[in-house]
Structure 1
Amino acid sequence: MIHTALTRLHRRAWTLGAIALATLGAMPALAAPPEAIRIGVASAGGGEPVTWGGSPGGVIRVNQWLEEEFKGSGTKIEWLFFKGAGPAVNEALSNKQIDFAYQGDLPQIVGRSNGLQTKLLVASGVRNNLYVVVPPASDVKSVKELKDRKVSIFRGTNGHLVAINVLAAHGMTERDIKGVNLDAGSAQAALVSNGVDAAFGGYEWFKVRDQGLAKIIYSTQGQDPALTRQASLLVRTEFEKAHSAEVQRVVDVFVRGARWSSDEKNREALFDIWARSGTPVTSWAAEFDKQSLAERNSPLIDDFVISRYKAVVSDALKLKLIRNEVAIDGWFDTSYLQKALKKQGLETYWTAYDAKGRPKDPQTVAANGR
């Protein structure tokens, strides 16, 4: 009897052990921490160390908050800046040369349409303005007068579609102008030397204007929010699946940066940090004139941000900038953002906006999660 009972116990123990081993064998192996986290930025940047402005990411870069977060973990933080902006960042993503990317909506969508497997994690610089500039002595005074003129547009960037929409709002198409594809630096050189008659661009033109080398004849500032550009942080899906804990830590830091960058008490300090990229404080003051920091630096993936991405998909299809429909639903992964907001007590800090850019009812936000 005793021998039989012991035999049964041994068999039961062996069976449980076999089940445990089988279960462990079925579980995916935990990936070792990455040797480096590589972040690509769709800007040539400037300064030492190289940084950029207009996004809470620039604050994180200058203050080395990510380096601080991963100190002692064995994981290095590497920042890579791309003069070729969004299209160059897409190439780096395709070649797995970077893990995270900060870039604008259109290049992100172009990348997705071409098969790049990514997840959009957090907004990081929304409602960016667009301007039309001309040489100081130019007789061009309005968008309509750009017809048949040589105009610089940085194609494939998040300003490209907004420029097209600005033209459309004035009864024109891109075919009505003689478009020249130039990056920001080349466009400035071309305009100053009268190589082009006008240029579409962003805050970088204030510096040129203040030097007396250009004048702004049109601005989207204060107009329909649909005429603004959005940027966000994304991650390669393969990296996210292997290193979800590290992704959470990166998002935590970006939310921390967004909180600091949204505090009006930090307005001057924020512009000082961004000025290290080579764009003067006066330019940032002009870009953010009569606009709240919280509205521009919010990390929220709200209905406005999602609607703008959907509109970019629609416009890009119509203009044949992409060949295939791009699904927006399911692309944004807000789980990391929600955890970061909860952890930092910021669940109600920022205002969420509806699809048209109007503040949403807080009760609706609480019920829907955005």
Structure 2
Amino acid sequence: MRRALILVQILVAAILTLTAHGARAEAPSVIRVAFAGVGIGNRPFVGGSSLSVVHARGLLEEEFKKDNIKIEWSFFKGAGPAVNEAYANRLLDFALQGDLPSSIGRAGGLKTKLLAGVSTMQHTYLAVPADSSIASLADLKGKKVALFKGTNLQLAVNKILAGSGLSERDLRILNMDSATAKAALATRDIDAAFGGYDLLTLQDQGVAKIVYSTKNDSPAYLRHAHLIVTEDFANKYPDITRRVVKVVVQAAHWIAQNEANPAPIYQLWSKSGVPYSNFKADQTGDSLKVRASPLFDEYLISRYKAAVADAKRFGLIRNTFDVDSWIDLRFLNAALKELNLEGYWPEFDANGKVKHPGRS
């Protein structure tokens, strides 16, 4: 009888040990997160998104501290294409990436899933030297123009040019990252540069002037960025994935709560080296709550479907793929429910019209 009891105790202890090992196996030792970009002067910080808030405030570190899971942040000067390369080499789990590079990666065979919006409806700017005679998109024909290829900027610019009856072939396109393009503008080695809100700094300095922006053009030209994850990570660690998405949603909620007084947001983002005033100018006239919304509503889904189709049309990808199966809303829906934020953000239909106004 005593021997049988001892055997039972040994068996129970073995089962508990195996269960504990199994539980630990379901959590990684490190979560690797990347930004498809880098701050001014290669600072390890990129502003302008809910993931920027997560990074700056150490929210992922706080969430996973009790699990002894480390957070490893990476910043890629090579932007979206560099993120794709890192994914191909199995060096990343999550990333902030734009619509075009992630589409290129997926079309090329990278097994990824889109989880949530982090910075949508981004604007594109065209800057020229302060004394340039270029005054419109039409004036770019035959000019030396900087464009960061492989990024979501390239797809937006292709659409913008097409709207004016132009294509990349009508311009002398030079592939330059943001820092290189700004330096080339300052030295007048190029005639113009397409870019984001950081080009506003050159205008403030009197070095360049903005002659075009999507603020005054079709919403179809806006750019979008999201939180993306590898299928392997999401399948192996579904609860960890849910918690990462939850933290991103919390950051988006913080941005929305500060929309009426956005100074704390711009101050945080200015750690990137981009001036506070640039973020303020870029966001003026737009809703911070909407642009930081994590939702993949009908509008954003339609924009990603259009991005894939347009990328194929412009020869940026060879094959299209099913966007609906690429977007995985399980983790976002679970996070929204857990945080009682269902129905909080406005929802838009495929045409960009308000379908649900959201709540405060």
| TM-score, normalised relative to structure 2 | 0.91
Secondary structure at the residue paired with 2:33?
Answer: strand
Q: 1:350 aligns with which of 345, 352, 358?
A: 345
Report Cα offsets for 1:271-317 as digits up to 9, x if no partner: 00000110111000110011111111110001111111111111111
Q: 1:189 aligns with which of 161, 183, 188?
A: 183
**Matched residue type, 2:329:** T
Secondary structure at the residue paired with 1:295?
Answer: helix
**Matched residue type, 1:143:** L
Q: Which residue of 2 aligns with 1:86?
A: 80
Report Cα offsets for 1:10-63 as digits up to 9, x if no partner: xxxxxxxxxxx9xx9xxxx66331110000110012589822111011111111
Q: 2:233 aligns with which of 232, 239, 261?
A: 239
Q: 2:291 aligns with which of 279, 296, 311?
A: 296
Secondary structure at the residue paired with 1:290?
Answer: coil
- The answer to whether the aligner puts 1:335 opposite 2:293 as a matched pair is no
Q: 2 CA distance for matches of 1:281 and 1:122?
A: 26
- The answer to whether the aligner puts 1:173 opposite 2:167 as a matched pair is yes
User: Is the 2:119–2:293 Cα contact (8 Å) retained in structure 1?
Assistant: yes
Q: 2 CA distance for matches of 1:309 and 1:128?
A: 14
Q: Which residue of 2 aligns with 1:58?
A: 52
Deviation at 1:265, TM superposition (A): 3.8
User: Is the 1:46–1:276 Cα contact (8 Å) retained in structure 2?
Assistant: no
Deviation at 1:195, TM superposition (A): 1.0
* Paired-residue identity, %: 45
Secondary structure at the residue paired with 2:223?
Answer: coil
Q: 1:284 aligns with which of 279, 291, 300?
A: 279
Bigger shift: 40-49 or 239-248?
Answer: 40-49
User: Is the 1:260–1:266 Cα contact (8 Å) retained in structure 2?
Assistant: no
Q: Which residue of 2 aligns with 1:318?
A: 313
Q: 1:257 aligns with which of 251, 260, 282?
A: 251
Q: 1 CA distance for matches of 2:147 and 2:42?
A: 28
Distance 1:46 1:66, change over 3 A: farther
- The answer to whether the aligner puts 1:208 opposite 2:191 as a matched pair is no
Bigger shift: 280-289 or 221-230?
Answer: 221-230
Deviation at 1:223, TM superposition (A): 3.0
Bigger shift: 260-269 or 114-123?
Answer: 260-269
Q: 1 CA distance for matches of 2:309 and 2:143?
A: 27
Which has the larger Rg?
Answer: 1
Q: Which residue of 1 aligns with 2:12?
A: none
Q: Which residue of 2 aligns with 1:218?
A: 212
Deviation at 1:72, TM superposition (A): 2.4
Q: Which residue of 2 aligns with 1:95?
A: 89
Secondary structure at the residue paired with 2:113?
Answer: strand
User: Is the 2:81–2:101 Cα contact (8 Å) retained in structure 1?
Assistant: yes
Deviation at 1:224, TM superposition (A): 2.1
Secondary structure at the residue paired with 1:70?
Answer: helix
Bigger shift: 245-254 or 169-178?
Answer: 169-178
Q: Greater strand percent: which structure?
A: 2
Deviation at 1:161, TM superposition (A): 1.0
Q: 2 CA distance for matches of 1:355 and 1:91?
A: 32
**Matched residue type, 1:356:** N
User: Is the 2:40–2:179 Cα contact (8 Å) retained in structure 1?
Assistant: no
**Matched residue type, 2:159:** N
Report Cα offsets for 1:181-204 as digits up to 9, x if no partner: 100011111111111100110101
**Matched residue type, 1:354:** D
Q: Which residue of 2 aligns with 1:267?
A: 262
User: Is the 2:158–2:314 Cα contact (8 Å) retained in structure 1?
Assistant: no
User: Is the 2:43–2:273 Cα contact (8 Å) retained in structure 1?
Assistant: no
- The answer to whether the aligner puts 1:145 opposite 2:139 as a matched pair is yes
Q: 2 CA distance for matches of 1:80 and 1:291?
A: 29
User: Is the 1:47–1:276 Cα contact (8 Å) retained in structure 2?
Assistant: no
How big is the alpha-carbon RMSD for the aligned residues of Structure 1 and Structure 2? 2.0
Q: 1:133 aligns with which of 124, 127, 132?
A: 127
Q: Which runs of 5 or more structure 1 residues have no equivalent in the other structure?
A: 1-20, 366-370
User: Is the 2:123–2:197 Cα contact (8 Å) retained in structure 1?
Assistant: yes
Q: Which residue of 2 aligns with 1:15?
A: none
Secondary structure at the residue paired with 2:347?
Answer: coil
Q: Runs in 1 of length 4+ with deviation above 6 angstroms?
A: none
Q: 2 CA distance for matches of 1:312 and 1:32?
A: 35
Deviation at 1:163, TM superposition (A): 0.6
